[in-house]
């Protein structure tokens, strides 16, 4: 009965991305593609958070999308 797709294609590079909760950057294949789409990657101001430092996450937000 579910109409949810099994997978989608990354809007940025066209890579096939499994439509699962594990794909946190969907519809993008990766954080990089997400940032590129947002235009932040090109700005080169963005720093991918490593193990150090706070990493604010909202797990509940994933289930809303
Ligand atoms: Zn991509």
- Residue 29 belongs to a domain with what CATH number? 3.30.50.10
Structural domain boundaries enclosing 6: 1-49
**Does the residue 56 lie in any domain?**
no
Q: How confident is the model at residue 9 (pLDDT cuts 50, 70, 90)?
A: very high
pLDDT at 28: 94
How far does the centroid of ligand 1 lie from the alpha carbon of residue 1, in Å?
Answer: 29
Cβ partners under 8 Å of residue 37, min gap 6: 11, 12, 28
pLDDT at 46: 53
* Total of domains in the chain: 1
Q: What is the pLDDT of residues 10-52, one digit of tens each?
A: 999 999 999 998 989 999 999 999 988 888 655 655 565 565 6
pLDDT at 65: 59
How far does the centroid of ligand 1 lie from the alpha carbon of residue 7, in Å?
Answer: 13
**Does the residue 7 lie in any domain?**
yes
C-alpha pair distances (Å), 2 with each of 9, 13, 65: 19, 27, 15
**Does the residue 62 lie in any domain?**
no
* pTM, entire model: 0.52
How far does the centroid of ligand 1 lie from the alpha carbon of residue 50, in Å?
Answer: 21
How far does the centroid of ligand 1 lie from the alpha carbon of residue 17, in Å?
Answer: 8
**Does the residue 55 lie in any domain?**
no
- Please name which of 42, 12, 43 lies closest in space to residue 29, comparing C-alpha atoms: 12
**Does the residue 9 lie in any domain?**
yes
How far does the centroid of ligand 1 lie from the alpha carbon of residue 29, in Å?
Answer: 4
């Amino acid at each position: 009965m579910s109409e949810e797709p099994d997978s989608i294609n990354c809007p940025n590079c066209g890579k096939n991305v499994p439509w699962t909760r594990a794909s946190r950057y969907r519809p993008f294949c990766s954080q990089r593609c997400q940032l590129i789409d947002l235009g932040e990657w090109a700005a080169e101001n963005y720093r991918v958070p490593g193990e150090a430092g706070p990493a604010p996450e909202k797990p509940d937000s994933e289930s809303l999308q």
